[in-house]
Every structure is written in C-alpha cells, then in structure tokens.
Structure 1
C-alpha cells in the first residue's frame, strides 16, 4: 500500500505525463499540418516534430518503468522486460535531449548577435553544427548500448546479493556516469547556449534603455518574456536530470518508494513544462492553441444550449 504522500505524488506524476503527452501531441500535429499545407518544413518545424514525438515516447517509458518499480518491482528482475525498457528509454532519451539541444542552438544562432569570431563562424555554418551533433548522438548510442547490456546482465546475476551490492555501488555509479557522457555533453551545450542567449537579451534590453528607443517598451516586454521562458527551461532541464539521478540512486539504496516517486515527479516536470513553454514562446503554436481553445469553448456553449 502506498502512503498518502506517495499517492499524492503519483497522481501529480500521472497528471504531468498526461499534460506532457497532450502538449507534445499538439506541437507535433500543428507542425505536421503546417507541412501538409505548405509542402515545406523548416528546420525549427522538423526539430519540434522530432522533439515532440521522441518526448511522448520518453514519457510513456518513464511512467511505465515508474509504475512497475512502485507496484511490481519483481518484474524488473524477471524476463527481458528490463532490457527492453532500458534500451528503448536510452534511445528515446538521447534523441529527445539531442532535439532540445539543436533547438536551443538554432534559436541562439538566429536571435543572438555577438561580434565574437567563433560565434560568427558557427552562425554561418548551422548545417555543419547539426551534422556534428548528429555524429555525437550516434557515437553516444554506440558507446552506451554495450555498457548498458553489461550492467543489466551483472544486475540480474547478482540481484539480491547484499554483500555484492554494497561492494559494487561505486562501480555502478561510475558505469552510469560513463554511459551518460553523451547526455552530459548535450546538457552542457544546451545550458551554455541558453545562458548566452539570456546574456544577449539582457544586454540588448540595457542598450535600448540607454538609447531611449520609441519601441523600447514593446521590445523590452518581448525580451523580458523570452528571458523568463529561457530561465524556466533551464530550471526544468536541470530538475529533469536531478530527478533521473535520484531514480538511479534508488537502485543502489534500500527500497524507498517516496524518494523514487519524488525523483519521478522531478523527471516528468521538464517534458510537461517545456511543451507549455514552447507553445507560449512560439507565435504559430500560441495562435493555434488559442484557436483550439476558442473552438472548444464554442462547442461547449452549443452543447449547453442544446441541453437547455
């Protein structure tokens, strides 16, 4: 039986997952409809579709593994379900973070304007940056899949052996760190680009204030909104990987459902929150969401009138 706190957190996790799936599905549908209409897909549209689809799968895997760990943990040590879940999660999680990193870099290179020679070189070679990141993604997969297979075989062989578990804690953590080097690289790149974009927007706001531009109020409001969205993304992004770290630690600590569900809650905050951030920060997605809400309200009003 779950305690009250565990039950509440599990409801929160489920709500986060549902909202995340709905938000990402909406993002994917809007961009697919735009492609069907114009017969052309922009880089941002392609990245948003890929990010939404990979994150939907990532959310389902996270929730599935979470429910199994809480309610039927013995299933993780029997059969091949652990391998299937782990391999699918590694593939989707790497892909999701890769798309998010590409999106951050694309926004950074398109919006920011630094005089630094490295920045100017990168801005003129966006396609080369994407190719390089694609190579990093495939290299990360090639390195981590064999390592994960070895870790899963060892954990099954020695599951329940307390003395072995105590001796192998450090080895387990080191192996986890090594297998996630690719993810760490993408995390660092994403956070650096977000931070630099915030710095650029902040400098631009100060410059507009000093110049006394007529469009100062409108531009300042837009830039402040963009900064808030970027800071929110960074916080959610960090919380996501803090949550994943807590879940990893739960495998080497005595069973603690409350700690595990807490990590699960932090993990699911990012896919849910980032989809909302993307909808609010993207003009096309925001307009489509407003139209969808208006349509739903009209349908509800017509239904109420027909009932009365």
Structure 2
C-alpha cells in the first residue's frame, strides 16, 4: 500500500506523463497534417515528428514500467522481459536525444551566419552532417547492446522478495552506465557546443547593432534569443531528466525504496513534458495550430451550452 507522499508523487508523475503525451502527440499531429496537406515533409517537420514520437514511446515505456514495478513487480520477474525492456530503453532514449540534437543543429544552421569556411561548408552539406549523426547513433547502439546483453546474461538484476535489487559492484555499474549512455552524452555535448556558438553569434550580432540599427537586425536578435532560450531549457530539463533516471538506478541498490523511486520518476518526466510545450510556444506553426484547436474547443463548448 502506498503512503500519502508516495501517492502524491505518483499522481504528479502520471499527470506529467499525460501532459507530455498530449503535447508531443499534438506536435506529431500538426506535422503529419502538414505533410498530408503539402505532400512533403520538411527537415524540421521530420525531426519534430520523430522527436515527438520517440518521446511518446519513452513516456509510455517509463510510466508502464513504473506502475508494474510498484503494483505488480512479479510481472517483470522473467529475465527475457528485462532484456527486451533494456533493449527498448537503449534504442528509444538514444533516438530521442538524437532527434533533439539534430533539431538544435538545424536551428543553428538556419539562424547563425558565420563567415568561417568551416561553417559555410557545414551549411552547404547539412545532409552529410545528419548522415554522420546517424552513423554515430548506430555506433552507439553497437556499443550499448553488448553491455546490456552481458548484464542480463549474468543475472545481475534480480527480483527478491518484494523489490528489484542489483548485485553488482558500484565501479562496474558506473562503467556499464557510461558505455550504455555514451551516445547520449556525445549528442548532449554537441547541443552544449551549439548553444555556446549561438551565444557567441548573438554577442557578435549585438556588437554590429551598436553601429547601425535596422528592423531586420532586431528581428535577427529576437530569433537568436528565442533559439538560445529553447536550447538552454532543453539542457536544464535534460539534466533533470537524467538525474531522475540516475535516482531510479540507485533505487536498485536500496530495498523498499518506493518513495525515492517515485521522486526520481517525477523528476524524469519533467523533460519530455515541459520541453514539448516549449517547442510549441517557440514554433509559430505549432503555436498557431494550438490556438486554432483552443478556438475550436471554445466554439464546441459554446454550442453545447446553447
């Protein structure tokens, strides 16, 4: 039976998951509708749709696993179930971060206007950059899967009495954690670099604005600031996300740690929930779509009231 605090945390986590599913579902729906209407899907539309779908899958997997662990942990007792969940986690989590990194690079290339030849080459061959990132993703999966297989085969994670417990040295766990998340850390570092370069670009642009004022330049500043806000929010929320995941992993060493596990779960869901709404507010097309839906809902309520 859950305590009052555990029940509150579980309710908060569930609410975050529902809001995240609605936000990401809306992003996917708007982009798919535009694709059907225009008979084509732009790069940013593809990336936003892929990011939304991967986050939806991630949240379904996290919330389903959490409810099973809390209310019916014996369902996870078969070792092959743990193996499948581990594979899914590696694929979906790394794919989600890949889409987020690709989105930050696309924003960077569209907004920034450096004259350096490296940037100009990057801008001309943006498709090659995405192919390179796909290659990095595949390599990351190739490194991660053998580690997952080894942990599962060695039966390091076992269900004992009423909870899951991990039988592994902390140093070995850190090594496994580093290998399975190497791709995620790589893509996250790329996002940090992109954010840093955007800040440099804004600083240089602001210095140029001191010499001459122009409406176009002012608009350029607004675009820079909006992109930086989106990236910084992603960085902060993503750090919270992995803090929550780390807490959930630590719970495997602590018997009867439902409260700590639910706190980690609540922290984990902040990123896929909040960042989806930040993307909607930052993207004019998604924002207009949300306004249209709200207007239709208001009209529907008004008609029912009549």
TM-score (norm 2): 0.90
Q: In structure 2, list runs of 5 or more residues that go unmatched.
A: none
Q: Superposition pairs for residues 92-171 of structure 1, below 5 Å?
A: 92-155=92-155, 160=160, 168-171=169-172
Kindly tell me: are residues 214 and 95 of structure 1, through their superposed partners in 2, closer, same or farther at Cα, counting changes over 3 Å? closer
**Preserved contact between residue 201 and residue 227 of structure 1 (Cα < 8 Å):** no
- Residues 67-105 of structure 1: per-residue CA shift (max 9 Å, x gap): 222223343333532122221121111111111111111
User: In 1, distance between residues paired with 2:2 and 2:212?
Assistant: 60
Kindly tell me: are residues 285 and 214 of structure 1, through their superposed partners in 2, closer, same or farther at Cα, counting changes over 3 Å? closer
| Counterpart residue number, 2:39 | 39
Kindly tell me: are residues 157 and 188 of structure 1, through their superposed partners in 2, closer, same or farther at Cα, counting changes over 3 Å? closer
**Preserved contact between residue 24 and residue 53 of structure 2 (Cα < 8 Å):** yes
| Counterpart residue number, 1:174 | 175
Q: Superposition pairs for residues 252-291 of structure 1, below 5 Å?
A: 252-291=253-292
**Root-mean-square deviation (Å):** 2.3
User: In 2, distance between residues paired with 1:81 and 1:102?
Assistant: 32
- Residues 197-223 of structure 1: per-residue CA shift (max 9 Å, x gap): 233234434543553435676655554
Shift of 1:247: 1.5
Kindly tell me: are residues 278 and 208 of structure 1, through their superposed partners in 2, closer, same or farther at Cα, counting changes over 3 Å? same
Shift of 1:44: 0.6
1:297 aligns with 2:298: yes
| Counterpart residue number, 1:183 | 184
TM-score (norm 1): 0.90
Q: In structure 1, list runs of 5 or more residues that go unmatched.
A: none
User: In 2, distance between residues paired with 1:122 and 1:79?
Assistant: 46
Report the secondary structure of 1:80's partner residue. helix
Shift of 1:146: 2.0
